[in-house]
Structure 1
């Protein structure tokens, strides 16, 4: 086997293992922070497609972290990275295929065990949430409690 073929095979194997390790790390970070599960402002309210009132962070059978809104099977987004900042903000990098964009979402834990978004920004540094408030109307982001 030539050196080029061996190098190519080694590169492919390394890439596969690195991708798997990255996915495992993302799940591990989210799990350690306590994010895995379904969250809503009112867990008894029915899901309304497109409203985003119920969100779930789930681990797929393949071991990947996904973000789903309103129990909608067509609104599934890959969480490709997760980190915990020194102030304990969980920062997620989420790929949104429907919107054809990647967004970074910062989440904080509230004193009562809920969560709320502190920021949501695109790759172009455009914010939909900044300092815990929706940019469009200035309203604070809701506190979500864990369902079930």
Structure 2
């Protein structure tokens, strides 16, 4: 019985280690294949600004984790992308953990044929939207197209 328990425990630990590594590679590979890696902004020539547009960067670290860096000019942060999937319609669904906010947010991104990127939705883990159907919930204004800056 003890030998069986030991084997099961070892197998479970190996499975967890494997799936953690495979999951990290899958997130990075999904985002890389979709075309999101690099820096994006509404206006790459403008300095990053909270009101006029941040510089958003998606980068794979040496350890294989995918990081999402935001530069607002007066503030910056770096957060881990914990999940990335592509829908049948080509929408990239990304989940990012924000330690400073103590929450995970999910957002959907659409890459247009002209190479521009648009946020289609952004919601909290409670399902509260800031962007829905490509428009800001607070104002109804459409989200701006972002261009690759690198």
TM-score w.r.t. the length of structure 2 is 0.90
Quick one: distance in 2 between partners of 1:137 and 1:49?
17
Per the TM alignment, residue 142 of structure 1 is displaced from its structure 2 partner at its CA by 1.2
Give the Å deviation of 1:58: 0.6
The equivalent residue for 1:123 is 125
Asked if structure 1 preserves the Cα contact closer than 8 Å seen for 2:80 and 2:98, the reply is: yes
CA distance in 1, matches of 2:88, 2:7: 42
- Cα gap change, 1:71/1:17 in structure 2, threshold over 3 Å: closer, same or farther? farther
Cα distance, 1:120–1:49 mapped onto 2, change above 3 Å: closer
Task: Please tell me whether the aligned partners of residues 52 and 70 of structure 1 are also in contact (alpha carbons under 8 angstroms).
Answer: no
Q: What's 1:112 paired with?
A: 114
Output the CA distance in 2 between the equivalents of 1:125 and 1:3. 43
CA deviation digits over 1:25-69, x for unaligned, max 9? 111110111000000111122234697611001101101111110
Please report the RMSD computed on the Cα atoms of aligned residues, expressed in angstroms: 2.0
**Structure 1 residue 3 displacement after superposition:** 2.2
Distance in 2, Cα, partners of 1:71 & 1:120: 18
Partner of 1:16: 17
Provide Cα deviations, 1:110-138, integer angstroms capped at 9, x if missing partner: 23211010001112111010010111111
Residue ranges of structure 2 left out of the alignment (5+ in a row):
none
Give the TM-score normalised by the residue count of structure 1. 0.91
Tell me the number of residue pairs that the alignment of Structure 1 and Structure 2 aligns.
148
Contact 1:83–1:90 at 8 Å: present in 2 too?
A: yes
Structure 1 outlier segments of 4+, above 2 Å = 47-52, 71-74
